[in-house]
Amino acid sequence: MTAVEFDTRAIRPGGLFVALPGERVDGHDFAAAAVAAGAGCVLAGREVDAPAVVVPPVPGRRTDTYLAATDPDGHGAAVLAALARLAGHAVAELPRCTVVGITGSSGKTSTKDLLAAVLAPLGETVAPPGSFNNELGLPWTALRAGESTRHLVLEFSARGAGHIAALAAAVPPRIGVVLNVGSAHLGEFGSTAAIAEAKGELVEALDDDGVAVLNADDPAVAAMGIRTRARVVLTGRHPNAHVRAEDVAVDAGRARFTLVAPGGSAPVALRLVGEHHVGNALAAAAVALELGATPDAVAHALSLAEPASRWRMELTERPDGVTVVNDAYNANPESMRAALSALASIGAGRRTWAVLGRIGELGAGSDAAHVQVAQDALAHGVDELVAVGAPEYGAPRDAPDVDAALELLRAELRPGDVVLVKASRAAGLERLAAGLLEGAR
Ligand SMILES: Nc1ncnc2c1ncn2[C@@H]1O[C@H](COP(=O)(O)OP(=O)(O)O)[C@@H](O)[C@H]1O
Ligand SMILES: [Mg+2]
């Protein structure tokens, strides 16, 4: 409805330009340019040379936003807080729009994409592009919802305690999904108990007319049932789950299962790669069933859903018969294990390569976690383990950087090989995956 943008190139006539101090530039310096480009007004944290609503930093207000490093005076935090309130007011004006929040250590974006696909036939659905899930991306997405929107799907991320609570207070979800509690950002949180505490803030924010969709297969998530006033719907393979996967089978990395729900059962065959998507699909199914879909319709939509966000288990067959699995978007130990298991399934009877870069933000246990991943790779029967600039794996081979890894792989890959490329985003392995596919499409 409202055109709210933080990038002058995206401004539309009459839109609101949100000025934020970023890593490379400070949006406040572009206020006049934004107005020249058609913005009607600027939301700013300090005076700018354009018509603006200037919000002052409030003492004591949370300043540990994703901007922290570039926001010493809290101007950005003030702007983000104002943006969140604006989004909250705008969404509150849309009584026919159901807000669904998704959190978890892994799978938020995949689940968001699955859910958007499953909800689309039920009515207009607004979901973030990519992984817009922080103090900027979440309200920005929420401000995309309008009169005709029936579902607003939001991804809630957290780098610390209180982050999800603040976002959920601004734009309260009616349905909250918690996928899993893993070790993503363990370094910042300190312990997995602290991560569970933070993820659970989403279901604490639900009202008693809300629904908490909780993963019955993850004890730390199932335990969140007592932290919410909302009705709890359990998902998973666990026999107690209300929305369940039975007879799960994995073929060439893709899972098939029977979706079993109180309203009936239906077969699902996922196109997404990786058995871990079973849990994501069940969460999406549970939400859609709450919102009036039938099990048949849900199973059908899940089975048609293609990967929507890039670099997540993106599978490409090269003309020479080499299969490249690009999962370079990010990594934590759980998603590494999920990817290695998928590699083993895709590569059954073929030579498999795990080309892995560093997993960031693991804190004190980082080295041990890398060694554990290397052991998991071997346990999954991976034939060739190549670390890229990551000696902490203790891998048989360690290419110092992406170029060296490319050279090694170009020399050694043979028709029929399957190569998984995965690391935390900072490792930049998407360039390696692109290099492997050069001229192959
Ligand atoms: N339920 C899950 N359990 C483990 N790993 C997962 C799960 N869902 C997705 N992944 C993997 O985690 C990585 C990130 O997936 P994504 O959907 O972008 O999650 P998020 O948005 O939470 O970061 C990908 O490598 C993906 O294959
Ligand atoms: Mg994400």
Of 46, 39, 36, the closest CA to residue 6 belongs to: 39
Q: Residues enclosing ligand 1, CB less than 6 A?
A: 104, 106-110, 131, 179-180, 274, 276, 279-280, 312-313, 327, 329-330, 334-335, 338-339
pLDDT tens digit sequence for 105-131: 999 999 999 999 999 999 999 999 988
The pLDDT of residue 68 is 82
The pLDDT of residue 2 is 52
The pLDDT of residue 110 is 94
Which of 17-31, 55-69, 367-381, 426-440 bottoms out in mean pLDDT, i.e. has the lowest? 55-69
- Fold for 4-82, please state it: 3.40.1390
Closest ligand 1 atom number to CA of residue 106 = 22
- What mean pLDDT do residues 49-58 have? 92
- What mean pLDDT do residues 205-221 have? 97
Alpha-carbon dihedral 304, 310, 311, 312, rounded to 10 degrees: -40
Is the CB of residue 103 less than 8 Å from the CB of residue 167? no
Shortest-distance Cα residue to atom 7 of ligand 1: 107
pLDDT tens digit sequence for 15-48: 999 999 998 899 999 999 999 999 999 999 999 9
CATH code that applies to domain 314-437: 3.90.190.20
Close Cβ partners of 258 (under 8 Å, ≥ 6 residues apart): 245, 246, 247, 265, 266, 267, 268
The pLDDT of residue 1 is 45
Question: Is the model's pLDDT at 309 over the cut of 90?
Answer: no
368 phi and psi, to 5 degrees? Answer: -60, -40
Question: Is the model's pLDDT at 416 over the cut of 70?
Answer: yes
Tokens of 427: 């490792």
Is the CB of residue 46 less than 8 Å from the CB of residue 75? yes
- Fold for 94-304, please state it: UDP-N-acetylmuramoyl-L-alanine:D-glutamate ligase (3.40.1190)
Question: Is the model's pLDDT at 59 over the cut of 80?
Answer: no
- What mean pLDDT do residues 137-145 have? 96
Amino acid at the residue 115:
L
| b (16+ CB within 10 A) / e for 176-209 | bbbbbbbbbbbeebeeeebbbbbbbbbbbbbeee
CA dist., res. 246 & res. 36, Å (int): 58
Close Cβ partners of 351 (under 8 Å, ≥ 6 residues apart): 383, 384, 414, 416, 417, 418
Shortest-distance Cα residue to atom 8 of ligand 1: 107
Which of 102, 106, 310 most suits a substitution to test ligand 1, by most atoms within 8 Å of the C-beta? 106
- Token pair 């995309």 is found at 144
Question: Is the model's pLDDT at 62 over the cut of 80?
Answer: no
The pLDDT of residue 69 is 84
Is the CB of residue 301 less than 8 Å from the CB of residue 121? yes
CA dist., res. 310 & res. 295, Å (int): 28
Q: Taken in order 109, 113, 114, 119, is the CA torsion positive or negative?
A: positive
Tokens of 244: 């369940």
Closest ligand 1 atom number to CA of residue 342 = 27
Q: Measured between alpha carbons, how far apart are the two ends of the chain, in Å? A: 38
CA of 290 to the centre of ligand 1 (A): 24
The pLDDT of residue 274 is 93
Does 107 count as an annotated binding residue?
Answer: yes
Average pLDDT of the chain, as a whole number: 94
CA dist., res. 119 & res. 261, Å (int): 17
Write the Ramachandran bin of 255: left for phi over 0, alpha for psi from -120 to 50, otherwise beta: beta
Domain range annotation of the chain: 4-82, 94-304, 314-437
Of 244, 240, 238, the closest CA to residue 258 belongs to: 244
Does 109 count as an annotated binding residue?
Answer: yes
The pLDDT of residue 389 is 96
Tokens of 160: 């610390």
The pLDDT of residue 186 is 82
Closest ligand 1 atom number to CA of residue 280 = 1
Is the CB of residue 281 less than 8 Å from the CB of residue 114? yes
Does 104 count as an annotated binding residue?
Answer: yes
Per-residue pLDDT band at 161 (split at 50, 70, 90): very high
What percent of the chain is predicted at pLDDT more than 90?
86
| b (16+ CB within 10 A) / e for 54-89 | bbebeeeeebebbbeeebeebbbbbbbbbbbebbbe
Alpha-carbon dihedral 9, 13, 14, 19, rounded to 10 degrees: 10
